[in-house]
Amino acid sequence: LAIAAGDPDDERGLARQICLACVAGLDIDGASLSLLTTTASRQTLWASDPVAELLEDLQFSLNEGACIQAASSGVPVLVPDLAEGVEVARWPVFAAALAERTEIRAVFALPLQWGATNLGVLDLYRRLPGELSRSQWRDALATAEIATLLMLGLHTDPRRNQVETLGNDHTDGQLHDGGAGASGWLDSLSGGRAEVHQATGMVLVQLGVTSTEALARLRAHAFAHQRLLIDVARDVVDRTLVFTKDDK
Amino acid sequence: VTKPAGREELLARAFVSLADTLVDDYDIIDLLDRLVGYSVELLAATAAGLMLADARGQLRLVASTTETADFLEVMQLQAEEGPCVDCFSTGTAVSAPDLTSASAAQRWPRFTAIISGRQTYASAHALPLRLRDQTLGSLNLFHPAPGALPAADLTLGQALADVATIGILQERAIRRGEVVNEQLQTALTNRTIIEQAKGVLAEHFQLDMDHAFELLRGYARPRQLRLAELARELVTRQLDPGELISPRQKPGGKPTK
């Protein structure tokens, strides 16, 4: 994935790849990925087709629907059959609009959730009702998780801020954990590396910033000192490394 | 509550408490946290940890009786090698009555090396969280002395693991298999928030992670707050960490506010 450089089109490129992978690999008809779903500044990064785009537009203009609920609750919302009364009752206006304007019968909304932070939602739809099989569901969840980590990686990429001073030294950055493209980045945030999350909590207090910003500062430190994120996190937890507001 | 009790009384109390939790709207991490606590008390273990598989089939620690770095490292390794991962992959209970034995060392060389270096645990037992043909994770018990758990204890441990499975399932899951995955995902996400909140408290009060978690739990329980919800409020700064401690009980560390 070419996600190393810092221009905003990268998010779209990433969203496109995630959506295309879902359409190709899962028993669905379309996919879309939207950012900042719980806030006013919403943005559909990519939609696989006009129907998927309409699905997003309807939810945003009505301010209700599976995707909105997934973003605000942080929990996947699965609607295998929109014609079922119980499901429709959750979002009557949205369900009515979908029935009137589209042939969508099933919607699966997966939040891109990192701790308390919602980064966006991956929406999948199908014209035929029915649940995803267990293996497809696992694939969908795994895709959403990877999308979350890659998106978080983009938002906290140390090279985004340091590109001017460091020049185009991308090959170097990919050798260690500070780089967004390095697989070490995925490893240190997935699979229960508790220390990274604990250190994030400590740094957010030390600097008075959000959890995402705290993670960005941890990564920037790892990048600048050519160290692994997990090692930097352990130093913070052991209190051998303290971030102060003057650090840059 | 601190009055010494026989095992039968303890058992009754544990299941009544767990059943009480299950009928209400509950936080799954909180339920699992109680459950590992009871499993240690009832089965005379030193430590217990409950691991669930994520969407990629990787095991992650969701609840444990001790949150020391030492124990977390043992569990982290268990995600790759040891009784826990064997229990998960086979869906059956796995006993390691003597972790210092040659057979254990042969079966799990890296895991037994770590364990023998620490000399904290001599035996381990892993019990599966089973749902029909699917294994969701495992309940892992560690004892200080070698020896196999008696059959009655294993049955009791399995019953506790089954309660965990039921807790994860919720009533809706009986209708729709997919809810299991929703719940699993929620448990894993909530664990991330709780780790971050532990960091917030550890930094604010200069505590270690173990005590930070105790503070979080000690505040949530009597107020019947969900652990994950309390953690979320701390991480997003809706709640000042200072609120968790009444003015007279502030610990030695200097609060920043």
Q: pLDDT per residue over A128-164, tens digit each?
A: 999 888 788 888 988 998 888 888 888 888 876 554 3
Interface touch B192/A115, C-beta < 8 Å? yes
pLDDT digits (tens, 9 = 90+) for B22-39: 766 677 788 888 899 999
Cβ–Cβ gap A115/B235 under 8 Å: yes
Note whether B72 and B60 are within 8 A (CB). no
Does the pLDDT at position A166 exceed 50? no
Answer whether A94's CB lies under 8 Å from A2's CB.
no
Q: What φ, ψ does residue B52 adopt, rounded to 5°?
A: -120, 150
Q: What letter does residue A121 receive in the DSSP assignment?
A: E
B186 touches chain A (CB under 8 A): yes
Rounded CA gap, B253 and A63, in Å? 46
Number of residues that make up chain B: 257
Q: CB distance from A131 to chain B under 8 Å?
A: yes
Tens digits of residue pLDDT in B194-250: 999 999 999 999 999 999 999 999 999 888 888 989 999 999 999 999 999 865 454
Mind spelling out the 3-state secondary structure of B94-155?
A: EEECCCCCHHHHHHCHHHHHHHHHHCCCCEEEEEEEEECCEEEEEEEEEECCCCCCCHHHHH
Instruction: Determine the angle formed by the axes of helices A194-207 and A211-224, rounding to 10 degrees.
Output: 100
pLDDT (0 to 100) of residue A186: 62
Separation CA A38–CA A67 (nearest Å): 10
A208 versus B25: the higher-pLDDT residue is A208
**Is the pLDDT at A165 greater than 50, yes or no?**
no
pLDDT, residue B158, reads 94
Distance from CA of A35 to the nearest CA of B (A): 19
pTM: 0.70
Q: What percent of chain B has pLDDT over 90?
A: 46
Chain A residue closest in CA terms to B198: A198
Residues of A in contact with B191 (CB under 8 A): 192
pLDDT in tens, B75-93: 878 788 999 999 999 999 9
Question: Does the structure's ipTM exceed the value 0.95?
Answer: no
Residues 212-231 of B with CB under 8 A from A: 231
How far apart are the CA of A165 and the nearest CA of chain B, in angstroms? Answer: 31
Which of A197, A212, A213, A231 to mutate to test binding with chain B, by most B CBs within 10 Å of its CB?
A197
Residue A118: partners with Cβ closer than 8 Å, 6 or more residues away:
A37, A38, A71, A72, A74, A111, A112
CB-based contact, A38 to chain B, within 8 Å:
no
